[in-house]
Structure 1
Amino acid sequence: MKVHMSPRSHRMAIVGTGGIAAAHAEAIRASAGRAHLVAAADVDIDRARTFAAAWDAPHAYASLTELLREEQVDLICLCTPPGQHAPLAAQCLRAGVTVLVEKPPTLSLAELDELAALERRSPGHVATVFQHRFGPAAVRLRRMVADGELGRPLLATCATQWYRDDAYFAVPWRGNWTTEGGGPTMGHGIHQFDLLFSVLGPWREVSALAARQARSTDTEDVSMALVTFENGAVATVVNSVVSPRQTSALRFDFERATVEVEHLYGYTDDDWTLTAAPGHEDVLARWTPGSGGAPSGHADQLAAVLDALDNGEPPPVTVEDARRTMEFIAALYASAFTGERVRSGQIGPDSPFWLRMNGTAAPWDKVNTQ
C-alpha cells in the first residue's frame, strides 16, 4: 500500500512588524500547520519582540541580516515600507530564500527587472502579495472566462475610491515619490486593477491623467485611465484617496453576463453578483457561488504559495505576473505626465519612467520649481 506523506511545515519569518504584518501572521496561523512562524525582525527591536511574543514566534531580530545569519527559513514575508522592498528582497535571493513581498514589490520597473535578473541566479523566488486574485469568486470567474462560458469580454470598470486624511500622510514615507513610489495608483488601487488584469489578461494601451486635488503630498491623490486590452476589451480605472464614501468596485461586461463585485478591503462570495444577458440565463447555474466565508485575504494567497513550494514550483504571483501590473502603473504616470498614449512594452531602460514612476518630474513639481 502506498503511503502518502503529509507536506512538511514550512519555516517562515516576517520582516517589518507594522500593521500589515498581523495579516501575514494570521495567515500563517490559519495554515493548519502547513507553516509556522519562527522569527520576526524589525529595525525597532522592541516592536519585533512584542510582535513575536504576540504571535508565538520564538525569536526576534533587529535586521534581516541578523535573521538570515541565525535562522534557517523557507519563506520570508516582507512587510516593510515600500522603499525597502527591493534591497531586502535582493538580500533574500542572495541567501537563496524565497520572499513574499507586500505591494508594491518595488518602486520602479528598473528595480523589478533587477530582482528578476537576480532571481534567475538564485534558488529562491520573489512573489508579490496580490491577495484578491485568490478569493474563490475570482478563481471561479477566471475559470469561466477561460472556458468561454461568459462570451467575449467587452467592457470593464475598476474603481478604488478611498479616503486618507492628512494625518495618514504624516508618516514620513507616505506620499513621496522616493519612498512610496507613487500615490493611490501605486499604493491603493494596485490591488483592484491587478485583479482586473488577472481576469482580462494583457493590457495593450493606456491614456491617463493624474492630479493633486486635496492632499499636500508630492504624489497624486487621484488618477484615471482608459485602457485597451489585447483581447479587444476596454476599461476605465479610477484611483483615489479623497473619496469620503469609500468603495472598491469592479464590473465586467461580457457578451453573456455582467459580473460585479463591491467591497472595501476584502470580498466574500456574497459581494459578487452575476446578471445574465437575455437568452443566456443558463450562465447563472454555472456561477454557483458559495455562501459568505472569510474575506479575500492573505490566507488564500499563502495557501497557494505553500502549494507551489510543496510542488517545487515558483510561488504566485511571480515577478513576470507582477510586472504586467507594475508596467501599467509606469504607463499610467507616463501618459498622465506627457499627455501621450502609452503602449505595453514602450517603457524600457531608455525611458525616465522605467527608472522612477514620476519620470523626470510630475507637472506640479515643475510648476513649484519655476
Structure 2
Amino acid sequence: MSNEIKTVAVVGCGIGRSHLIEGYVPNADKYKVVALCDLNPERLNAVADEFGIEGRYTSFDELLKTDVEIIDICTPPMVHYGQIIAALEAGKHVVCEKPLVGSLAQLDEIVAAEKKAKGKLMPIFQYRYGDGIEQVKKIIDSGIAGTPYVATAETLWKRTAEYYAVPWRGKWATELGGVLMTHAIHIHDIITYLMGPISGLFGRVATRVNDIEVEDCISASCELESGALASLTATLGSQEEISRIRLAFSNVTFESDHAPYSPGGKLWRIIPASPEVQAQIDALLKDWVHVPERFQTQMARFHDALMGRGPVPVTSADSRRALEIVTAFYHSSETHTEVRLPIAPDHPKYKSWVPAQFRKEAAQ
C-alpha cells in the first residue's frame, strides 16, 4: 500500500455512511477505510458488509488502540468533545462532523489540545465545495467583486415528528441546539467563508414547528467586520426545501442555486455591474477545472494537507466562528440585545449556551 494512502476508521454509521459514499470511495487513491465503530452491532455490520470493511468495533477506546491513522467522528454532538480529545491524545488525525463541540470553552480547549497533538483536526463543512461556490470564492478573492454590501441567507427546510423520533434529536442534552446547530450552521458558515467574519448580531429564536426542546425557527440581523450587513433566516417548517444565499457587492451580485443540501454544487447566478466586469470574470474563469461537491472535495483537500501539499481546508478557527454565531443567537434572543463578536471567555454563554435547567443533564 502506498504511504500516500491514509487509513481511516469511521465512528458512527449514520452520517458516517455518507462520508464513505461521498468522501472516501471517490478518493480511493488517497484513503482506505479499514474500520467502523458503532454502538449498534446490527447497523455496524450492515454498513461494514456493504463496503467490505473488516475492522468492526463497538468500543471507541478499543478502536483508538489500533494503528489506524485517521478517526472520522460521525457520532451525536454530545460526545464529540471527549472523542476528539481522546483521538488527538492517541496521536490520530481527526475528522469531526458539525457541531465540533458544545461550547466555545470546549472549542478553545480543543484548540489547545491541537497545538500539542501529533495529528491534524478537520471539522466538517462540506457545503463549501462544488463549482458554484468555488467560482464565487475565486471572484471575491480576486477583488473583482468589489466592496461587500449585503448578504441574505435562508435555510428553509422541513423536519417532522418522524425525524425527531430519533431519541437524541430535539433535546438540549444530546443535540445541543436546534436548527441553528444542526441545519443552518452550514449556510451561516458559507456567509462568513465568502464575506468574512460577523462583528455584531441581533437575533431571535423560537420553537414553532415541532414539539421539541430546542429551536426550529430563527432570524437575525448582522453586521460584518467589513461593514457589510447580513440577514439570516431559517425554519424547519418550510413546505419546499431550499437553501438560498444572495450576496451583493459593488461590482457583482451572486445568488446560489437553491438545492437545499448542496448549495455549492451547481453554478450560481453571477450578475456583473457592467460588460467590463463580465470580461474580467470570463478571463478569471476561462481555464476552470471542475470541483466535485461536498465531502469528495473536502476529503481530497484534507489528504493534500496531510501530505504537506496545502492547508487543512476547514479549521477549528472556522468552527469557532460558526459556534460564535450560535452562541450570539441564543444570548441575543434571551436578552433582546445585540451581541458583539468575537466572544471572549468572560461572556455569560462562553461555557455553555444550553439553558440553565438543561445544563446538568447535558454535562452527564
Name the TM-score, length of structure 2 as normaliser.
Answer: 0.91
Runs of 5+ unmatched residues, structure 1 = 1-5, 366-370
Aligned counterpart, 2:144 = 149
Select 2:78's aligned residue among 74, 80, 83.
83
The answer to whether the 8 Å contact 2:130/2:266 transfers is no
Q: Within 2, Cα distance between the matches of 1:293 and 1:244? A: 33
Q: Work out whether 1:41 is the aligned partner of 2:37.
A: yes
Q: Within 2, Cα distance between the matches of 1:290 and 1:62? A: 48
Call closer, same or farther: CA 1:263–1:292 in 2, change over 3 Å. farther
| CA displacement, residues 240-274 of structure 1 (integer Å, 9 cap, x when unaligned) | 11111110011111111111112111146534111
Q: Work out whether 1:323 is the aligned partner of 2:292.
A: no
Shift of 1:103: 0.8
Identity percentage of aligned residues: 31
Q: Pairwise CA RMSD of aligned residues? A: 2.4
Call closer, same or farther: CA 1:34–1:182 in 2, change over 3 Å. same
> 1:179-194 maps to which residues of 2 (within 5 A)?
179-194=174-189
The answer to whether the 8 Å contact 2:265/2:294 transfers is no
Runs of 5+ unmatched residues, structure 2 = 360-364
Name the TM-score, length of structure 1 as normaliser.
Answer: 0.90
Q: Work out whether 1:276 is the aligned partner of 2:260.
A: no
- Higher relative contact order at CA 8 Å, sep ≥6: structure 1 or structure 2? 2
Q: Work out whether 1:214 is the aligned partner of 2:209.
A: yes
Q: Within 2, Cα distance between the matches of 1:176 and 1:352? A: 21
> 1:98-117 maps to which residues of 2 (within 5 A)?
98-117=93-112
The answer to whether the 8 Å contact 2:246/2:255 transfers is yes
| CA displacement, residues 46-84 of structure 1 (integer Å, 9 cap, x when unaligned) | 322221121121210112211121x21221111111111
| CA displacement, residues 222-251 of structure 1 (integer Å, 9 cap, x when unaligned) | 011111111111110112111111100111
Aligned counterpart, 2:8 = 12
Q: Work out whether 1:127 is the aligned partner of 2:99.
A: no
Corresponding residue SS for 1:270: coil
Q: Within 2, Cα distance between the matches of 1:149 and 1:95? A: 45
Q: Within 1, Cα distance between the matches of 2:35 and 2:145? A: 46
Q: Within 2, Cα distance between the matches of 1:181 and 1:72? A: 32
Q: Within 2, Cα distance between the matches of 1:254 and 1:276? A: 9
**Counterpart of 1:341 in structure 2: which amino acid?**
E
Q: Within 2, Cα distance between the matches of 1:26 and 1:214? A: 31
Q: Report how many residues are paired.
A: 356
The answer to whether the 8 Å contact 1:267/1:295 transfers is no
Aligned counterpart, 1:3 = none
> 1:232-271 maps to which residues of 2 (within 5 A)?
232-261=227-256, 262-267=258-263, 270-271=266-267
Aligned counterpart, 1:59 = 55
> 1:303-318 maps to which residues of 2 (within 5 A)?
303-311=300-308, 315-318=312-315
Q: Within 2, Cα distance between the matches of 1:157 and 1:171? A: 32
Select 2:170's aligned residue among 164, 168, 175.
175
Corresponding residue SS for 1:175: coil
Select 2:196's aligned residue among 194, 197, 201.
201
Corresponding residue SS for 1:145: helix
Shift of 1:203: 1.1
Call closer, same or farther: CA 1:296–1:26 in 2, change over 3 Å. closer
Of residues 85-94 and 140-149 in structure 1, the stretch that sits farther from structure 2 once superposed is 140-149
Q: Within 1, Cα distance between the matches of 2:152 and 2:53? A: 42
Q: Within 1, Cα distance between the matches of 2:140 and 2:341? A: 22
Select 1:94's aligned residue among 89, 96, 103.
89
